[in-house]
Structure 1
Amino acid sequence: MTAPTIPETAQMAGRTIVLDVVGLQPQHIDADRTPTLESHFSSERVTGLRPPFPAVTVPAQTTLATGRGPSEHGDVSSGEYDRERETAEFWERDRDGRDRIWETASDVAGLTTGALNFQHLIGTSADVAVTPSPIEDEDNNLLEMNCWTNPDGFYDDLHEELGHFPLHNYWGPGANEEGSRWILAAAREAIDRFDPDLLWIYVPHLDYAGQSDGPGSDAFATALETVDDLLEGFLADLSETDRWDETVLTLVSEYGFHEVDRPIFPNRALREAGLLETDADGDADIGGSDAFAMVDHQIAHIYAEGAVDAARDALAGLEGIDAVLDDSGKAERGIDHPNAGDLVLVADPDAWFQYYWWDDRANAPPYATEMDIHAKPGFDPCELFFGDEGLVSLDASQVSGSHGRVDESAYGCFGLGGPAAPELEGDGPVDATDVTPTIVDLLGLEGELSMSLEGSSLRQS
């Protein structure tokens, strides 16, 4: 099938608002469950969106916002293994020289741009930006809620108007719609105050039920209705703004979910083989280990320089692994970058990877039952569940949804809506690398922006 194209006669948009509704898929948009979305993005204006491999938050977001895949931009996981420091950290990477569409459009074309709650926003040159940046002590205990903003002082204004950003509702056992509600309210303030030509808004609410209960659950169906209600208020306000008639709404979703019921524990296998060492506190001694797995949903990066064959043998007996990617396999899936593991594991559709290396809870590190997203050397969806001992559960069997594999059944979605939206011609899924070139075309910036648009199947003829 051929991906949609924008007609050559389409008018350029004066303003583009990107709604990044993570976890949304085309089949979720209908008049019964999501009437607001359906009214703005009818079936002929929506198609599937093929995420990059792996289909996890940071690689997907960076690909969507740059038009480049992980083999180029280097985001291969939501975490990063620093080979020099021998540390694995999640959610810690800064902008690091990457130019996303809002930075390029602002710096090069002089547009007013913004991004809300996207990853790695600290230091962005976007005219308006908001990202959580709580003040913590050396043990990662929250001292005071804060957000990094551009311009300076914008969070003070948001705090006065909306209250503190509800961090404990944004992730963790208390995750609910309040985080998305606050973000959309902040977007209203950003539009009123800065009137951006391009504003990218991250709406996370579906992510919670998608992981905890699974995409086929009643909880996920309820979350769809909640997101639609939140967008109804935001879009009603947006339609009252002076530039509504020149606005294009761009709907994207980073991935869809798989139903899962099998956690896989590669670090246990590596420890049993004598390849993964632990210290006196029960923490993984990554620097002193021959191999360890940095896990992220349905993907696991195995770092085993000098012990690749031994690691492969240790993992061979694990059930639930669909593929073990070596150099050729990584190249085939577009993840052949130095940041990637020496081996990359892909789970079966109904399985996912958990970072645990212990069998007995008594041997778990202190942070295992805490909300400590930066210390854990792997993504931990068990943080969505209250634990019997400590804040966070250690029962991995509770997780019912995951993502990371790139299967057609778990594609995200792409749509164009709003009064200035062109029709889409053709059918078939859009590739994630086509989203930024499409926004460039919508804003009429092809000749102004120094970014490669080759290979975009969404570009105008």
Structure 2
Amino acid sequence: MRRFLVVDAVALTPALLRSGVMPRLSAWAETRRLAPLAPSLPAVTCTGHADLLCGAPPRVHGAVGNGWYFRDLAEVWLWRQSAALLQAPTIFDRWREAAPAARTAQLFWWWNLPSRADLSLTPRPTYWADGRKGPDVHSWPPELRRRLRRRLGDFPLFQFWGPGAGIRSTRWIVDAVLDVLAEERPALTLAYLPHLDYDLQRFGPEGPEARRAAAELDAELARLLARADADGIETIVLSGYGIEPVARAAFPNRALREAGLLAVHPAANGALLDPGRSRAFAVCDHQCAHVYVAAPADRPAVRALLAGLEGVAEVLEGAELAARGLDHPRSGELFLLAAPGWWFAYPYWAGDDAEPDFARTVDIHRKPGYDPCELFLDPARPLLKARLALKLLAKAAGFRTVFDVVPLDPGLVRGSHGRPPASPERGPLWLGPAELLPSGAEPLPAWRALERVTPAESP
């Protein structure tokens, strides 16, 4: 049986590939086909991974962002992992039906707790009863986790996201993928390499930091591609989005709060978003935001308010959402697109509201929106690295401590995504054997990118 490897090298673009700092991938690409992809809206991780898994757009699979408002719970949740949230069959379901003996693997690709693949591996921190967070992964079967920890050590969780995020996490993932390819020999493997997401958001996609990050990724990809080629595995390298330069952030929730439309609960640990009592609020997600408006009568006023907010390029609703493939019950009544060079910051507290205690920490689950400031240490706080060292010592000794080291300054962020790409050179790509590229006009809708990856003997 043919074997396939699909690698999501997130934020890889034709411009980066041709920049001269990725010689190994460029050499590999010389005998392959390069094609631009058109990402769904919003062009973010969870939506992009669902597109590729399901071979369908968000209106079908329901992953309308990295998170959304769960109306029946009256709660905002981001970064949910269960494949049960996907409302369409996945590539693993189709493979199981067509070739029950073919094993499949989902490695660090989202929608992975549980996965519909035979083998799975994904970050899953240990949350201790005393409040500590420790690095770990979840795997199926459980023996895979035990074997990888013996061979590779603990997954470097704090290099996967946060101020310390860097190449160590991607290197560990590549080592894990190589182990699975050799030991388990799956017929289909999907793997996610996050490295370009870090410095390109910190510093933008065009500076020396981006070039250095691309060179680091090139070295790791080279190891993976060499092994796959040696084993006769047909490989596709693709990306879900490109990152564009930004310089300013808009605050939709603060505008709604100041207009009396967004409610907060004045808790002991600060002002907490009260979505069930809010007339309107936004789930900010990079350069996009779903805006949930409780009463239809409020919709025109909310739309007018947000359309006049600097940094908002478009406000979509109804037929406009349908035209962009986002007509799904999980979508907001309104949807915001940022202007070029802008992104949407989640903070909702304003005026006399107390800042919530999680605001200056890495806390992707309690924040009701995406926060790229978590990639930074706060440069405005004196002696922060010394203080951080003391906190790490306290944690190692078993003491609880709050890592309140994240800045609140949105001006630090220099790269973002979510909007349609400004040009194919700056957008996502597909790179692989020509016979595996779906036919049709380019750029190809990203959700079609894997439609020829089948267990049949010919694509």
Give me the TM-score of the superposition, normalised by structure 2. Answer: 0.88
Alignment of 1:20-419 (within 5 A): 20-30=8-18, 32-42=20-30, 45-96=33-84, 98=86, 99-110=89-100, 111-137=102-128, 141-241=131-231, 244=232, 247-280=233-266, 281-306=270-295, 307-359=298-350, 363-387=354-378, 388=380, 390-409=404-423, 410-417=426-433
**Pair 445,59 (structure 1): closer, same or farther in 2 beyond 3 Å:** farther
Contact 2:307 2:315 (C-alpha < 8 Å) held by counterparts: no
Consecutive unaligned residues of structure 2, counting only runs of 5 or more, are 382-403
SS at match of 1:372: coil
Shift of 1:393: 1.1
Q: Give yes or no for the alignment of 1:444 onto 2:452.
A: no
Which amino acid in structure 2 is aligned with residue 375 of structure 1?
R
Deviations 1:353-412 (A, max 9, x none): 001123579821111001110000000000001125622111100111111111342420
Contact 1:50 1:408 (C-alpha < 8 Å) held by counterparts: no
Shift of 1:19: 1.2
Shift of 1:240: 3.7
**Pair 158,271 (structure 1): closer, same or farther in 2 beyond 3 Å:** same
Distance (Å, rounded) in 2 between the aligned partners of 1:171 and 1:47: 29
Shift of 1:31: 8.1
**Pair 82,267 (structure 1): closer, same or farther in 2 beyond 3 Å:** same
Contact 2:32 2:432 (C-alpha < 8 Å) held by counterparts: no
SS at match of 1:279: strand
Deviations 1:53-75 (A, max 9, x none): 11011111100121100011111
Shift of 1:426: 8.2
Contact 1:103 1:113 (C-alpha < 8 Å) held by counterparts: no
- Once the two structures are overlaid, the 10-residue window that deviates more, 170-179 or 228-237, is 228-237
Shift of 1:435: 1.4
**Pair 58,193 (structure 1): closer, same or farther in 2 beyond 3 Å:** same
Distance (Å, rounded) in 2 between the aligned partners of 1:66 and 1:403: 22
2:401 equivalent in structure 1: none
Which amino acid in structure 2 is aligned with residue 355 of structure 1?
Y
**Pair 93,230 (structure 1): closer, same or farther in 2 beyond 3 Å:** closer
Deviations 1:50-105 (A, max 9, x none): 11111011111100121100011111110121111111011124111643213431
Give me the TM-score of the superposition, normalised by structure 1. Answer: 0.87
Distance (Å, rounded) in 2 between the aligned partners of 1:356 and 1:445: 52
SS at match of 1:415: strand
Distance (Å, rounded) in 2 between the aligned partners of 1:338 and 1:424: 30
Distance (Å, rounded) in 2 between the aligned partners of 1:163 and 1:408: 41
**Pair 97,207 (structure 1): closer, same or farther in 2 beyond 3 Å:** closer
Q: Give yes or no for the alignment of 1:432 onto 2:446.
A: yes
Distance (Å, rounded) in 2 between the aligned partners of 1:86 and 1:57: 24
Contact 1:134 1:142 (C-alpha < 8 Å) held by counterparts: no
Distance (Å, rounded) in 2 between the aligned partners of 1:155 and 1:259: 38
Number of aligned residue pairs = 426
**Pair 391,104 (structure 1): closer, same or farther in 2 beyond 3 Å:** farther
Which amino acid in structure 2 is aligned with residue 444 of structure 1?
A
**Pair 317,427 (structure 1): closer, same or farther in 2 beyond 3 Å:** closer
Distance (Å, rounded) in 2 between the aligned partners of 1:285 and 1:445: 54
Work out the percentage of aligned pairs sharing the same amino acid.
35
Consecutive unaligned residues of structure 1, counting only runs of 5 or more, are 1-12, 447-459
Distance (Å, rounded) in 2 between the aligned partners of 1:291 and 1:360: 18
**Pair 421,437 (structure 1): closer, same or farther in 2 beyond 3 Å:** closer
CA RMSD of aligned residues (A): 2.3
Contact 2:47 2:64 (C-alpha < 8 Å) held by counterparts: yes
Which amino acid in structure 2 is aligned with residue 342 of structure 1?
E
Shift of 1:305: 1.9
Contact 1:136 1:144 (C-alpha < 8 Å) held by counterparts: yes
Distance (Å, rounded) in 2 between the aligned partners of 1:226 and 1:438: 30
Distance (Å, rounded) in 1 between the aligned partners of 2:58 and 2:122: 23
Distance (Å, rounded) in 2 between the aligned partners of 1:279 and 1:250: 48
Distance (Å, rounded) in 2 between the aligned partners of 1:189 and 1:25: 28
Contact 1:56 1:78 (C-alpha < 8 Å) held by counterparts: yes
SS at match of 1:19: strand
Contact 1:107 1:125 (C-alpha < 8 Å) held by counterparts: no
SS at match of 1:23: coil
Contact 2:254 2:347 (C-alpha < 8 Å) held by counterparts: yes
Shift of 1:157: 0.8
Shift of 1:349: 1.4
Distance (Å, rounded) in 1 between the aligned partners of 2:328 and 2:437: 37
Shift of 1:431: 1.5
Shift of 1:222: 0.7
